[in-house]
Chain A
Amino acid sequence: MRHDTIERSVNLMMVLIILAVSIGGLVELIPLMYSSEANEPAEGIEVYSPIRLAGRDVYVREGCYNCHSQMVRPFRSETERYGPYTTAGETVYDRPFQFGSKRTGPDLARVGGRYSDAWQRLHLQNPRALVPESTMPTYAWLEDRPVDPELLTAKLETLQFLGDPYTDEQIASAAAEVEGVSEMDALIAYLQGLGTNRRNRR
């Protein structure tokens, strides 16, 4: 068979290209789906509570990942500033994970508990009030938007269907839990829980 034959047949060439490029995926990606390190929650990792799940979705919707990564890399310069490096087992309930690829702002993988709730609120309302040189946009309007209980219930049901260990009781009580909760409250609850499963280093 000469390359002439392949080059003159679009279908044959397509099949061979797919075969060639899929080897990498087959070897690198598929085994990971069966890796316990990547599939099973790390110690201390639980499914997001309903209010934190709502906050996570605000985080994703507002594109926070455009400027904030959520992955502490295994270098001393990172762990000194942020805390222990991120492991795959810590992101099993993130759909999709928020590793991010760009840091205009700091990494947020372990921001939980680093600042008070009041700090987070004021900072979201006006970042310049606390960090004068900050280029972060303001998100004051999140305060005026209530969390949608119906949407949240539907999300929880979907995640349960996908295999996240939510109990029926948790889903049933979710709507009541977010009554009167603003998107700001939910986002702060989400941030305050980030990475708190691992902290002690010294």
Chain B
Amino acid sequence: MPAFWHWFIAIGTVVFIIWCAWLISWSAKQGPQNVADEDLVGHKWDGDLEEWNNPAPKWWLYLYFITIIWGVGYLIAYPGLGAFEGALDWSQHNQYEAEMAAAAERYDPIYEDFAAMEFEELSRHPEANQLGASLYASYCTTCHGSDARGAAGYPNLTDDDWLWGDSEAQIVSTIANGRVAVMPALAPALGGDEGTANMVRYVRSLSGIEEADSGAASMQPMFVALCSACHMADGTGNPMLGAPNLTDDVWLYGSSSDAIMTALVHGRNGVMPAHGDLLGTNRSKILAAYVYNLSAAERQAD
């Protein structure tokens, strides 16, 4: 802001405060103190109800003066007069930085200690899991749900089925860098409506939902040609590409014929947004360990 405006603000404010002080003291001296007839204000209600023209009460005036004194003190202490930064050197930015620095000093060592732990051990640490749970509540519930069971298109985190792998590096990378799944639209390559419908039945037969009829069974070579690059020839999927295992009973978008048909006709592009910038390395690891622990029960049952 040009210097002119700093002076404009400073002079304008000071002149106005002085003017207010003058106005109040001037008006305090106005008006009669006696009770002569001509000092009635001139209104008359109900025939005989009139009002003396007396000055405002002293306590009322003092409130004005106290306000002015407060204002002057404030403008000396805090930034308000143009470029003057105030005697306390306070600024919104400095206050924020101080708050952040205090929090970093208090909390960073806690996160660092946990992040230095071995992953499996960290995933079983009760206090780390409390931290992880609150991180989960802040960043993950909107898609994966507050019970972590997900929704159609948003993976269930409580089962031991991992689209992108369950190693420490893989889970941390999923959280920090995000994931983009690329299931292309395949209907034309599958030979139109009939071929697509047959492939839907073949895919369902892989996990035993329905018996492969003759039409579906004939799709096996087509599956190897078109789908095996990601889902592998036997349909067990590939965590390197986030390609789901088609032979189990876990279905990201549902196991209905319609859901599978949609995937084949339009493709699927599931996106896990990157959270590395928001979380940083230490918190990403603590959160990853918490997520890993969500499926501990099922892992032990296996």
B-contacting residues of A (Cβ < 8 Å)?
A: 2-4, 23, 26-28, 30-31, 34-37, 74-76, 79-81, 83, 85, 113-119, 122, 129-132, 199-202
Q: Which of B96, B270, B276, B279 touches A116 (beta carbons < 8 Å)?
A: B270
Across the interface, which residues of A come within 8 angstroms of B138, CB to CB? 80-81
Across the interface, which residues of B come within 8 angstroms of A85, CB to CB? 96
Q: Could you jot down 14 A-B contacts, CB within 8 Å?
A: A2-B31, A27-B13, A31-B9, A35-B5, A74-B95, A81-B138, A83-B278, A85-B96, A114-B273, A116-B272, A118-B271, A119-B154, A129-B151, A202-B280
Interface size on B, residues (CB 8 A): 41
B88-120 vs A, Cβ < 8 Å mask (1 yes, 0 no): 000011011001100100000000000000000
Residue of B nearest to A117 (CB): B271
Q: A81-B138, A118-B270, A130-B151 are in contact. Are A31 and B93 (CB under 8 A)?
A: no
B93 close to A27 (CB less than 8 A): no
Residue of A nearest to B284 (CB): A202
Residue of A nearest to B103 (CB): A76
Give bound CA distance, A26 to B5, whole Å: 11
Q: Which of A3, A31, A118, A119 touches B1 (beta carbons < 8 Å)?
A: A31
B1 close to A35 (CB less than 8 A): yes
Q: A31-B1, A31-B9 are in contact. Are A130 and B273 (CB under 8 A)?
A: no
Q: A3-B30, A74-B92, A130-B142 are in contact. Are A118 and B153 (CB under 8 A)?
A: yes
Across the interface, which residues of A come within 8 angstroms of B96, CB to CB? 74-76, 79, 85
Q: B12 within 8 Å of A by Cβ?
A: yes
B30 close to A131 (CB less than 8 A): no
Find the residue from A31, A81, A115 having the highest chain B CB count within 10 A. Answer: A31
B27 close to A3 (CB less than 8 A): yes
Across the interface, which residues of B come within 8 angstroms of A130, CB to CB? 142-143, 151, 154
A-contacting residues of B (Cβ < 8 Å)?
A: 1-2, 5-6, 8-9, 12-13, 16, 27, 30-31, 41, 53, 92-93, 95-96, 99-100, 103, 138, 141-143, 145, 151, 153-154, 269-274, 276-281
Closest 7 CB pairs of A and B: A202-B280, A116-B271, A31-B5, A74-B96, A27-B12, A35-B1, A76-B99
A131 close to B142 (CB less than 8 A): yes
Q: A27-B12, A76-B96 are in contact. Are A115 and B142 (CB under 8 A)?
A: yes
B16 close to A201 (CB less than 8 A): no
Residue of B nearest to A36 (CB): B1
For the complex with contacts A3-B30, A31-B5, 7 further pairs of A-B residues with Cβ separation under 8 Å are A37-B1, A81-B138, A118-B269, A118-B271, A119-B142, A130-B142, A202-B277
Residue of A nearest to B143 (CB): A119
Across the interface, which residues of B come within 8 angstroms of A131, CB to CB? 141-142
Report the minimal beta-carbon distance from A33 to chain B, rounded to whole angstroms: 9
B8 close to A27 (CB less than 8 A): yes
Across the interface, which residues of A come within 8 angstroms of B281, CB to CB? 202
Give bound CA distance, A4 to B96, whole Å: 51
A116 close to B273 (CB less than 8 A): yes
Across the interface, which residues of B come within 8 angstroms of A116, CB to CB? 270-273
Report the minimal beta-carbon distance from B95 to chain A, rounded to whole angstroms: 7
Across the interface, which residues of A come within 8 angstroms of B142, CB to CB? 115, 119, 130-131
A23 close to B271 (CB less than 8 A): no
Give bound CA distance, A115 to B103, whole Å: 28
Across the interface, which residues of A come within 8 angstroms of B145, CB to CB? 132
